[in-house]
Amino acid sequence: MGKIIFYEDRNFQGRSYECSCDCADLHSHFSHCKSIQVESGCWMVYDRPNFMGCQYFLHRGEYPDYQQWTGFTDCVRSCHMLPQHQGSHRMRIYERSDFGGQMMEFIDDCPYIFERFHYNDIQSCKVLDGFWLFYEHPHYRGRQYLLRPGEYRRYSDWGAISSSIGSMKRITYSN
């Protein structure tokens, strides 16, 4: 079981809402969110209802200000608890849509994709094992995209507006 607590004000002040499962619409519980405590589990929070919009990965810890989870806004509208994954992580990335062009397989985090793959653009990917995060910029910065096991034939399949990916990281409970 995971547990996450949302607060309307910075430094865990103001009204709060405690959650231990997925919630597709948090709007009725609070109007804005300026701090979060993750007591257990790993979570994705979204700035739009129904797990849409900007995504933010949060692991156990305290986030006294929304900018600490790289939030562009204090708007949190839905959350999803990530299942714990035991075992290996494996992903294949491709330079073209529909798994075309150059391919490279990853089993570990990659802070700077261009250095290893020689492309900034990832047009498609296959997540074979584990959960992964793509980051828009190198060194785990910028917009985040959750990738579950499965096939992503084009970058829009993982919710991106651009194929430019700078880094990627495995989701583990030790993040």
Any bridge partners for residue 151, and if so which? 126
Last residue of a domain, one of 82, 102, 124: 82
* pLDDT at residue 68 is higher than 90: no
- What is the C-alpha separation between 173 and 117, in angstroms, rounded? 27
Q: Residue 71 pLDDT > 70, yes or no?
A: no
Residues 67 and 26 in one domain: yes
Neighbour count for residue 112 (Cβ, 10 Å): 13
Q: Indicate whether 55 and 126 sit together in one domain.
A: no
Considering the domain architecture, whether residues 64 and 105 belong to the same structural domain is answered as no
Residue 33 in domain: yes
pLDDT exceeds cutoff 90 at 96: yes
**67 and 103, same domain (yes or no):** no
Q: pLDDT value at position 82?
A: 93
Has residue 37 got a pLDDT over 60? yes
The residue among 82, 112, 134 that closes a domain is 82
Q: Which residues contact 23 (CB under 8 A, 6 or more apart)?
A: 29, 78, 79
Report the pLDDT averaged over residues 1-13: 94
Q: What total number of domains does the chain contain? A: 2
Distance of CA 37 to the CA centre of its chain: 17
Q: Is the pLDDT of residue 85 over 90?
A: no
Domain span holding position 113: 90-170
H helix intervals, the chain: 113-117
Instruction: Answer yes or no: is 175 within a domain.
Output: no
pLDDT level of residue 67 (50, 70, 90 thresholds)? confident
